[in-house]
Amino acid sequence: MRYIVFLIAYICFLIMDIRRQEIDLIALSIYGVAALVTLSFDKDSLTMIKLVDILYSILFGLIIYLLSYFSGEGIGLADGIYFVINGLLLTLKENMILFVSGLFVAFIIGMFMFYLQKNSSKRLQRLPFMPCFLPAIIGYILCIV
């Protein structure tokens, strides 16, 4: 159930980020409520170890949010909030793999954009971060199935 909520939210955020290069706080709030409801349905299987993992995953999201805040939104505040909410649904390992793979894909795309920019005008380009998670999510879905 938690992966279904995660995937539906990701698809919505992916479309928002590609179209407008921003994610609505209202949509993030709805995602947060849906994550809390999903977590409450799973309360029978919550153990102390799982609660500690959820807290660490949320803490990891808070670190990304603070990194975004102090870097002048180099990553994006909404992306940081997204990882905080993901902490309710994903384990720390899954959340970290998602973030690191997103950084890796963003690095490759950024290098490609830098190479193309070298030959054209020197204007600043922005890269939406949500599409960078797509290879990791597709890989994870293929491993589950």
**pLDDT tens column, 9-43:** 999 999 998 898 888 899 999 999 999 998 888 77
Give the integer Cα–Cα distance in Å for 40 and 60: 21
Per-residue pLDDT, averaged over 122-144, amounts to: 80
Cβ contacts of residue 66 below 8 Å, gap of 6+?
Answer: 80
Give the count of domains, the chain: 1
pLDDT tens, residue by residue, 70-121: 988 778 888 899 999 999 998 899 999 999 999 999 999 888 888 877 665 5
Contact present, 129 and 75 (Cβ < 8 Å)? yes
Q: Alpha-carbon distance 140 to 96, whole Å?
A: 13
Cβ within 8 Å of residue 76, ≥6 positions away: 22, 23, 68, 129
Domain that includes residue 98, residue range? 2-144
pLDDT at 52 over 80: yes
